[in-house]
Structure 1
């Protein structure tokens, strides 16, 4: 292996926290990965990875070297993109990330349409309910729901989603409809551990901001599961409006406490702040921005929703 290939192996081992997992991702043998790391450490003259029988982690030198490797590989990729026309013609691998349910409902179908327009591009869609670091995880484009905290990225707002409380008609027939957020303390509540809305629910009232601490009796690992339980009539859940838009339209769920809803959360298309943006990133961002703005203008949860 040349040094650039060794760097790629090292970065993958660090990200996967294991030799076998890195080998699978790189489609090479585990012994090849082991030899590459050993060669790097021998040439540099220091240990980059601390290994035990049960774990693997970066040494202090390894952490510094990882940052340098990512920078060097990024610069190499930019040079190759420039030489091959990648900054003028969309081509090559593109990684896009989005929240799981938003990605399933909106982003995956849009990416399929995008690929029909640009046959020289290949897309990897990373759908996860966690905040992904664009630079560290090699992400080209991200869909972010909520207020942004990283001013180092380019961000284009495409719409808004509401934070809604909902339940099935059968639940309200048995327990009544809450008319004030404080009544949630007596309700059956199901929530997803993947949600940022898990414990403190914020509302607005005529008197100002209102915070209610709820104690979910049922916590599941996915938003879709919480929504399904709510549809069955067991209890209330709090989700983002797009996650239940169709269920509300079909009458499976009904929204409550709408007069107390907090401000809507923005949706942004985000990409890295680089001097030269590859054509595959530029065209993908432009495509997603245009289509998502159409979707969130034409598909509200109810008239007047974002």
Structure 2
């Protein structure tokens, strides 16, 4: 087993936190994994992994070596891809991540168009309501909603979304339309816990931030569930404007308290900084920027009174 293969084995053991799991991932025998790690530690002259009866942990030296292995193997992949021409021709496997509903409503319908344009690319879409670490989870392109925290990535802004309070017209006819956020303390509130953007309700009162705590009568873990319940006329919920654009346009839901909405949240298409960006990433980022940038439901909206 050469050193590059040993590095791959070491990374698998570290990431899977076990020899047997690493063997299954690499489709080799557990003794082969054990021999590879032992050979590495003997050659390097230090312990990389600390073993117990149940778990495997990285030593301090192992943690540093893991970071070096990731960098070295990534550079090796880039070199091979460059030799194969993937920096000029879109090809290979491309992984993109986005929030669940945004992915279902905006990203998934575009994927087949991209694949039709670039038949040598294979796409994997990871739709999850969490911030996925691009480097650690092998992500090529990510759609981020909200203000960015990372500074080692390229980001292209493609739109904005608002945090809106909405309910069915029938609910407001029975209970009245709130004119101030404080009145929501008396409302039937269904809250989504899928994202911190929706579970923490903040408002703006003129130029001042207004943070109110409510006791929701119903909490659900999926944004679509909160939207469905609001459409039934049971209560009000807070969602992102794109999530209910269709329901608002069709009259199923009505947005209230527009004058108290906090500033809109940006939407970015994000990818890792690199001296050489593969053609599959460049073309997919440009494709998304063009398509999402033209979507009217992701344009900024001037506040009104409601």
Provide TM-score, normalisation by structure 2: 0.88
Render the CA deviation track for 1:195-225: whole Å, top value 9, x for unaligned: 1134432222225322222232322222122
Distance, in Å, in 2 between the alignment partners of 1:19 and 1:254 is 55
Aligned residue number for residue 119 of structure 1: 119
How far is the alpha carbon of 1:282 from its aligned partner?
A: 0.6
Residue 157 to residue 232, structure 1, CA distance change in 2 (3 Å): same
How far is the alpha carbon of 1:103 from its aligned partner?
A: 1.0
The answer to whether structure 1 residue 220 and structure 2 residue 220 are counterparts is: yes
Residue 198 to residue 54, structure 1, CA distance change in 2 (3 Å): farther
Render the CA deviation track for 1:4-61: whole Å, top value 9, x for unaligned: 2332333344334445555555455666555544544444344433444554443322
Written as runs of structure 1 = structure 2, the 5 A alignment for 1:195-210 is 195-206=195-206, 208-210=208-210
Query: Which shifted more, 218-227 or 168-177?
Result: 168-177
Query: Which shifted more, 62-71 or 212-221?
Result: 212-221
Secondary structure of the residue that 1:147 maps to in structure 2? Answer: coil
- Contact 2:160–2:298 at 8 Å: present in 1 too? no
Aligned residue number for residue 262 of structure 2: 262
Larger Rg: 2
How far is the alpha carbon of 1:278 from its aligned partner?
A: 1.0
- Contact 1:154–1:270 at 8 Å: present in 2 too? yes
Secondary structure of the residue that 1:90 maps to in structure 2? Answer: coil
Distance, in Å, in 1 between the alignment partners of 2:281 and 2:265 is 25
Aligned residue number for residue 229 of structure 1: 229
Query: Which shifted more, 12-21 or 117-126?
Result: 12-21
How far is the alpha carbon of 1:142 from its aligned partner?
A: 0.9
How far is the alpha carbon of 1:301 from its aligned partner?
A: 9.4
Distance, in Å, in 2 between the alignment partners of 1:29 and 1:248 is 56
Residue 189 to residue 43, structure 1, CA distance change in 2 (3 Å): farther
Render the CA deviation track for 1:116-143: whole Å, top value 9, x for unaligned: 1111111221111111222222211111
Residue 236 to residue 57, structure 1, CA distance change in 2 (3 Å): farther
Query: Which shifted more, 248-257 or 80-89?
Result: 248-257
The answer to whether structure 1 residue 178 and structure 2 residue 185 are counterparts is: no
Distance, in Å, in 1 between the alignment partners of 2:17 and 2:166 is 40
Aligned residue number for residue 85 of structure 1: 85
Distance, in Å, in 1 between the alignment partners of 2:9 and 2:61 is 17
**Unmatched tracts of structure 1, length 5 or more:** none
Distance, in Å, in 1 between the alignment partners of 2:29 and 2:178 is 59
The answer to whether structure 1 residue 279 and structure 2 residue 287 are counterparts is: no
Residue 21 to residue 240, structure 1, CA distance change in 2 (3 Å): farther
Query: Which shifted more, 231-240 or 63-72?
Result: 231-240
Superposed CA RMSD: 2.5
Provide TM-score, normalisation by structure 1: 0.88
- Contact 2:161–2:299 at 8 Å: present in 1 too? no
The answer to whether structure 1 residue 168 and structure 2 residue 158 are counterparts is: no
Written as runs of structure 1 = structure 2, the 5 A alignment for 1:50-65 is 50-65=50-65
Render the CA deviation track for 1:98-122: whole Å, top value 9, x for unaligned: 1111111111221221111111111
- Contact 1:165–1:255 at 8 Å: present in 2 too? yes
Written as runs of structure 1 = structure 2, the 5 A alignment for 1:94-113 is 94-113=94-113
- Contact 1:190–1:217 at 8 Å: present in 2 too? yes
Secondary structure of the residue that 1:87 maps to in structure 2? Answer: coil
Aligned residue number for residue 151 of structure 1: 151
Residue 283 to residue 30, structure 1, CA distance change in 2 (3 Å): farther
Secondary structure of the residue that 2:197 maps to in structure 1? Answer: coil
**Unmatched tracts of structure 2, length 5 or more:** none
Distance, in Å, in 1 between the alignment partners of 2:255 and 2:122 is 40
Secondary structure of the residue that 2:201 maps to in structure 1? Answer: strand
